[in-house]
Amino acid sequence: MSLTWEPQWERVKVSYAGMTVVTCRDRVTGLLLCPICSDIDRICPEGKVISVLSEDMVVFYTVEDLLHHLRSHGSKLFSKRIRPPKEGE
């Protein structure tokens, strides 16, 4: 038994309100990964289930939350948000 979360990412197509998005979903928790913030080709290659975990993943509980986040990528405000400094800065 493990004391940490070990995701089992699989590639899925999710649809909501006429929009379809290809993203990664954890088989156990059902969490959805933002396909713009993360490289889904590395995290969940087509036809494979992989257990990749990193601290910069942006995950959501519902498809509706994911779509609201994806809409914010096109917003001018998204580029002005406060970001933590990267290591070495």
**Dihedral angle sign, alpha carbons of residues 7, 54, 73, 77:** positive
CA gap 52, 38 in Å, rounded? 11
Q: List the structure tokens of 11.
A: 């590639």
The 3-state DSSP class for residue 26 equals strand
Q: What is the pLDDT of residues 41-77, one digit of tens each?
A: 888 888 777 787 877 788 899 999 998 888 887 766 6
Q: Which residues pair with 20 in a beta bridge?
A: 15
pTM for the whole thing?
Answer: 0.73
Mean pLDDT, the chain, whole residue set = 81
